[in-house]
Structure 1
């Protein structure tokens, strides 16, 4: 998957999750979005994503996301500036007098970093909500606030992103990457400022204490300097530590340089490097797991949308027999073998649909109804064999799915009459759906019944009487056939 398509999939998942959160307060009016999505995609997942994009455009999710992407880097830089300012102010490397207590400076620069780093490590085993109080969580909340405020859609997008990350087990790593990156840049700026100040200003580095013994500082300096020493940073020996007191103002310049480099090495090894390495680790975990950022298909809202899209799909022909050889067109009775009778048969129409239409009886129609049982079919076919009508109209529901039983019945009717026509009846008082009509005509052609005249318009299929002394019977006025009290 390309980078663009992967980013598009994550954005679609974010919109789906955001729309689900919005609809928790009540469903959105989505009739047009459902139709657009159904026409734009074939599978349910793509349709739900298309619906979310359509609704997101209406409620402003796309605009808010674009704005959030623009302000997110500036929010991160603001947090970097906050950390740098606090660290430099506490350490006193830029402002204040020129005497630096190295232990106070070290604790000031590494103390908050060490606490937050320990909390992040512990938080890997805690619920996802614990990361809201990290720099990553603060960055996400501030970005949402700046991008849209409390009344816009930015908070919804932030909640949706948090849910997706938590579901993919990426929340500590994604927010951790932001937090570690902020600390990395902060340490880089602090080190640059510290080295600049130490290079061009004369500082006196020392330690002092009221209750701690000098031996404590000797051991602390040696222990803390062990790791920086591996990278070539000097470690003051015991004599240099004991001499680095406020009274040791006569310490030579070489001793002061050793203290300055020791302080720099501690910040690099215990501050900059851990954050930079953890940022790289979080980025690697993100790359491995980002494909998991998908909607939860087990949620009721998602399953309901799948069901709605399935209901919009056109009905398919059931009970097909693809292995059967192509059927031959049925041959009806010859003109000299039929009578003037005309029959109208309701074939498997829903029980609450009125049959027969009242005006047909005055036109000389013989009406019958077949609900699907073998006995009823046999009785109607026996009636046809006895009447030998010149034309039979078979009324079928346009929304129904024809099967082999339908094909057998139409073949038998066509064989026992001069002509068989099919009226595709619409539900309610509307016109039959074009998809249903096309499905029936395709099915008739595929089953060898393409010669049967089929239409959703009654005037197109109503049979006429043969010419007689009083002329042909005129067509009935076209009238929609719908639900009514069952006759």
Structure 2
């Protein structure tokens, strides 16, 4: 089950808040009694109630305010990062064409302009198949990390919101695509600046382009130029022939071929791949963005839904309209319960000793209810939080069981793995009376137990 939070424009924000509240509650449950009541009264279905509860708790913690600050600072941080990349691109282009001798080693220039780009692109492609965190050093991740630092500082909740957002994107298999879009877009802008600066310098200044080697054969450069120039030639960029490659001082036309070959390689192996992958990332984001929802199949959300169900109003009247079929309540499965064992005293008289002496030795958690609506609600909320594997309900054996007792037992049975009834001080007649009442109420499978050995 997926929590449906995509019907409103703020669906992604709701999903991030829900995920952030879940991360906070991994360290311990929040005081959410008021939030539960407000969410239950405002919404009818469970997923909407969970989203409303998260919004209420997030507002109290300050998550919405920090998320708004992050959204405000994100474009400014991106603009600053782009400015740095443009400056770096200009610096890189200047390092190629800015030397005083006006000589350009085309092999060194190509390696310096494309080396880091090709390495990071291969890591990103590898990260699509095997997510090893290779994209944590991408421009996209740097942008998110800087935004979290600027918007929230060291003590704010923005890093938590960043973790929640990345968990959502990772679950929807969108994290490398989202971060990749930012990274590819910035690389595309950088290559655009480099190509523009390079063309401007080559158009209005005279340079000598050549290659140099100490140990490699000249034939190596002939084959390398032909091989690297194959793809740019499809777009009309010239490829120097063998004579131009082997000639130590090429003619002016040969220098022009070298310059356009170098530019074509940067376009084809630098700008075009980044631009294409940026468009692909944007398309994948549009196709999968509806999957950015919390995973409602997790036990965390199942517990919240059970607590909301336990808070549903009971429309029971005392007037007896005739016998009606009774069903045994469905208890929690083994995978839904915790390790807790609870012992509940239900409307016990003051003269009856409570808690029993064996409770201390068993380690069971002892609770008590006096029958008031507030105490009843608080106890059921506590059971919904604990989800015990076994619950013992101790009732006054001398009293006559009524509909209030039946309703309470049914509510307890729905919130635990196994429920058992204890009748402290009961004689044989009381046992017969309670057994008969349990059979009439449809609760005949509810065990009546006594003794310290049962509190386990």
Q: Normalising by structure 1, what TM-score?
A: 0.62
SS at structure 2 position matched to 1:96:
coil
Count matched residues.
334
Q: Is the 8 A contact 2:127 2:133 kept in 1?
A: no
Q: Is the 8 A contact 1:76 1:182 kept in 2?
A: no
How far apart, CA to CA, are the structure 1 residues paired with 2:56 and 2:347? 40
How far apart, CA to CA, are the structure 1 residues paired with 2:113 and 2:261? 14
Give 1:255's aligned residue: 254
Residue 96 (str. 1) matches residue 99 (str. 2): yes
State the 1:58 CA deviation. 2.1
State the 1:25 CA deviation. 2.6
SS at structure 2 position matched to 1:25:
coil
Give 1:127's aligned residue: 131
Give 2:217's aligned residue: 213
Residue 280 (str. 1) matches residue 283 (str. 2): no
Distance 1:87 1:105, change over 3 A: farther
Q: 1:22 aligns with which of 21, 24, 32?
A: 24
SS at structure 1 position matched to 2:209:
strand
Q: Deviations over 1:64-105 (max 9, x none)?
A: 222222322333344444444445434524533322211111
Give 1:114's aligned residue: 118
State the 1:351 CA deviation. 5.9
Give 2:64's aligned residue: 62
Give 2:200's aligned residue: 196
State the 1:22 CA deviation. 1.8
State the 1:131 CA deviation. 2.5
How far apart, CA to CA, are the structure 2 residues paired with 1:61 and 1:6? 19
Gaps of 5+ in 2: 324-345, 351-397, 409-456
Gaps of 5+ in 1: 325-349, 355-367, 373-395, 402-487
Distance 1:221 1:90, change over 3 A: same
How far apart, CA to CA, are the structure 2 residues paired with 1:291 and 1:321? 50
Distance 1:4 1:13, change over 3 A: closer
Residue 157 (str. 1) matches residue 161 (str. 2): yes
How far apart, CA to CA, are the structure 2 residues paired with 1:304 and 1:277? 45
Residue 223 (str. 1) matches residue 227 (str. 2): yes
Distance 1:63 1:95, change over 3 A: farther
Q: Deviations over 1:139-196 (max 9, x none)?
A: 2212211221221111001110111111111111111112111111111121122222
State the 1:51 CA deviation. 1.4
Give 1:450's aligned residue: none
Distance 1:109 1:33, change over 3 A: same
Q: Is the 8 A contact 1:88 1:94 kept in 2?
A: no
Distance 1:80 1:104, change over 3 A: farther
Q: Deviations over 1:30-49 (max 9, x none)?
A: 23322222222211111111
SS at structure 2 position matched to 1:205:
strand
Distance 1:4 1:18, change over 3 A: closer
How far apart, CA to CA, are the structure 2 residues paired with 1:5 and 1:217? 59
Give 2:367's aligned residue: none
Q: 2:240 aligns with which of 217, 236, 239?
A: 236
Residue 168 (str. 1) matches residue 172 (str. 2): yes
Q: Is the 8 A contact 2:123 2:135 kept in 1?
A: no
Q: Is the 8 A contact 1:221 1:235 kept in 2?
A: yes
Q: 1:148 aligns with which of 141, 152, 162?
A: 152
Residue 371 (str. 1) matches residue 401 (str. 2): yes
Q: Deviations over 1:293-341 (max 9, x none)?
A: 11122323222221222222212459x999x9xxxxxxxxxxxxxxxxx
Distance 1:351 1:127, change over 3 A: same
Greater Rg, structure 1 or structure 2?
Answer: 1
Give 1:50's aligned residue: 52
How far apart, CA to CA, are the structure 2 residues paired with 1:351 and 1:64? 47
How far apart, CA to CA, are the structure 2 residues paired with 1:22 and 1:128? 25
State the 1:264 CA deviation. 1.1
How far apart, CA to CA, are the structure 1 residues paired with 2:188 and 2:213? 31
